[in-house]
């Protein structure tokens, strides 16, 4: 009987943490077309210490400026990378100003982070 109670208690404590960890970050394009692109991240607690964002652009499209600043940018490959450190729970917006307008569905991104609960690397695709 004591063993059953102990297992029930462990399951009760462990399950809510796992459910929260799976939905740690949600990410979507607020504006996924035109010459100004906005990406919104909603970050739960506990936040991952670092988030990596990869943005893929069509050929000929360049990022003129961004907020926050990009960590790396390869114009030839149409790939930008942000390394966001000291992340806090809440909403965060990444803004990109492009040299020309893009149509909806022509850009995509990827978000990567290490789950603070499990230690595993999580990757999610972002579509416009």
Residue 122 phi, psi dihedral angles, 5° rounding: -110, 140
Give the structural domain span for 71. 2-127
Structural domains counted in the chain: 1
- Per-residue tokens: 95: 């803004």
pLDDT average per 10 residues of sequence, the chain (128 residues): 45 35 81 96 94 95 96 94 95 97 95 92 90
Q: Which pLDDT belongs to residue 54?
A: 97
Question: Domain of 35: which CATH number?
Answer: 2.60.40.10
The model carries a pTM of 0.79
CA distances from 8 to 13, 15, 49 (A): 9, 11, 32
Return all residues near 48 (Cβ < 8 A) that are at least 6 apart. Answer: 24, 25, 87, 113, 114, 115, 116
First to last CA, the chain: 53
């Amino acid at each position: 009987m004591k063993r059953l109670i102990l297992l029930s208690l462990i399951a009760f404590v462990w399950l809510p943490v796992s459910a929260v960890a799976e939905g740690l970050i949600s990410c979507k394009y607020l504006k996924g077309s035109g010459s100004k692109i906005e990406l919104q991240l909603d970050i739960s607690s506990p936040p991952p210490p670092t988030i990596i964002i990869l943005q893929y652009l069509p050929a000929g499209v360049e990022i003129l400026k961004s907020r926050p600043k990009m960590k790396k940018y390869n114009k030839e490959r149409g790939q930008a990378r942000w390394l966001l450190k000291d992340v806090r729970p809440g909403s965060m917006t990444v803004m990109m100003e492009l040299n020309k307008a893009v149509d909806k569905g022509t850009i995509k991104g990827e978000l990567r982070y290490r789950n603070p609960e499990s230690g595993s690397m999580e990757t999610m695709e972002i579509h416009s």
